[in-house]
Amino acid sequence: MIVDPKNISQYLPSINFKVEPKRLIPYLVEAQREITDRILGYDIEELLVENSDDNLSELKNLASRAICVTAYLSAIPEMDLQLSEAGFVVASNEAFSPASKERVERLMHSLRRRKSAALDNLLVFLVNNSKGDASPIKDWRGSRQFSYFSQTPVLSLAEFERFNLIEVSCELSWDKFYSYIPIMKANLHSTVAYYISDIYILNLMERLRDAEPILDVERQVLVHIKGAIIAGAMDSRNIMIEESIAARKIMIDNIGQFPIFYKSDSYQLPEKSISGTGGVSNFLV
């Protein structure tokens, strides 16, 4: 296991544990399995379990924190606020009394937020530190997990929140972001591609996945691409189209920097299909 059950309290310092660590093992095992399957991949999991290299200490700490908060959150419904042999309880001097439903729910809400932050911090670390042949985790970029996240240019929950143009009534969870990735990919290669060409998008995504440098003007275009596919995932089709048109305008104004787009059918779109939604709707039917 990546986390020694005896050390779980160091990753959840605000929780007062009064339970045998071995009782948490099933939850830690399941949490590690989930995080390995979704983020780490089995090669990185093996590296963290078998290697105590200082170069991996930050990654191991991030993974351990994500595993612990996920495990603890899973334990709450079954162990019934403070974890003791009697379940979740409220401490009062030397005695314990059952925790109220409201207090347990507050704890769960806090843990859900901490889980989202922990998973996203782990993901961002892997994305940023797997670049280059000298990286000890460079092989992560060949994993199924990296392939999943790199389907779009929005690589983390933090990035999703940064470029989201839609007002939301509640905080977005990491699990929700994870489920949005296939939707963002579909929007990228349909609606957005209609305006700026799928062949250009494929080229851009390949360069982003390979961590190759892109032009400053492409970074401006990327802002609108991200805004478009996020808006689409949030069911705001009008904003998705507006952002796609904004990306196209930057490319048209700097057409010498976009030869692939210039040679595509999308560059030749009639103006009437660009200014309204009719053209793209007909295209997608």
So what's the pLDDT on residue 284? 41
Helix (H/G/I), strand (E/B), else coil: 258: coil
* Per-residue confidence in pLDDT tens, the chain, 285 aa: 899 888 888 888 666 566 677 888 999 999 999 999 999 999 999 999 987 778 899 999 999 999 999 998 888 766 654 556 655 555 444 555 555 667 777 878 888 999 999 999 999 999 999 999 999 999 999 999 999 999 999 999 999 999 999 988 788 999 999 999 999 999 999 999 999 999 999 999 999 999 999 999 999 999 999 999 999 999 999 999 999 999 999 999 999 999 999 999 999 998 767 765 434 443 442
How far is 139 from 215, CA to CA, in rounded Å?
Answer: 26
The DSSP line for 115-138 is: HHHHHHHHHHHHHHHS-STT-TTG
So what's the pLDDT on residue 144? 98
So what's the pLDDT on residue 283? 40
How far is 53 from 175, CA to CA, in rounded Å?
Answer: 30
How far is 149 from 127, CA to CA, in rounded Å?
Answer: 9
Cross-sheet strand order for the sheet of 87-92: 17-18, 82-84, 87-92, 95-98
Contacts of residue 157, defined as CB under 8 A and 6 or more positions apart, other chains included, come to 116, 119, 120, 123, 172, 174, 177
So what's the pLDDT on residue 168? 85
Strand partners, 83: 17, 88
SS3 per residue for 132-196: CCCCCCHHHHHCHHHHHHCCCCCCCHHHHHHHCCCCCCCCCCHHHHHHHHHHHHHHHHHHHHHHH
So what's the pLDDT on residue 279? 43
Q: How many CB atoms lie within 10 A of CB 237?
A: 15
The two three-digit tokens of residue 131, written as one number: 């670049």
Identity at 1, one-letter amino acid code: M
Burial of 80 (0-12, 13-18, 19+ CB in 10 A): middle
Q: pTM to 2 decimals?
A: 0.87
So what's the pLDDT on residue 12? 82
Conformation bin of residue 202: beta by default, left when phi > 0, alpha when psi is -120 to 50: alpha
